Amino acid sequence: METLPLAAAAMMGVDVSAAVILNFSGNFERSVVRYNCEQAEPLVVEYVNAAPNFLAILPIEGNKLVFVTVLSGSGARYAAGEYEWWTKGDEATLSNLTTPDAEPVTCTAISETP
């Protein structure tokens, strides 16, 4: 049986989505936070915390991207590809690191659901 390369399958309209299953032992926390940003609709971010793995899942341009924590002087800083999501308290910024002159999108948390 022959399989299509992912790029070719995507161009043909074939669903190439994948599921990632993470098995955690010990303490595990999942939360969803809605942020008021510089857009009409709230930005809904899902956080998965299971030391030593800390993830943030953000919808970017119609896709859900998985951000992982990276070293930060203060707050929590996450990265996914060219994007950086940085939170401190109820404030957050989303930056595209390939456009360093552009202002980051600033956000404020408006609700949290467990």
Structural domains in the chain, sorted by start = 28-113 (2.40.128.200)
Residue 1 has pLDDT above 80, yes or no: no
- Cα distances (angstroms) measured from residue 52 to each of 3, 49, 69, 74, 100: 36, 8, 10, 18, 29
Residue 65 near residue 58, CB atoms below 8 Å: yes
Band (pLDDT 50/70/90 cuts) for residue 114 is low
Residue 8 has pLDDT above 60, yes or no: no
Tokens 């940085």 sit on residue = 86
Q: For residue range 80-112, list pLDDT tens digits in order.
A: 999 999 999 999 999 999 998 999 999 999 987
Global pTM value:
0.77
Q: How far apart are CA 74 and CA 7, in angstroms?
A: 39
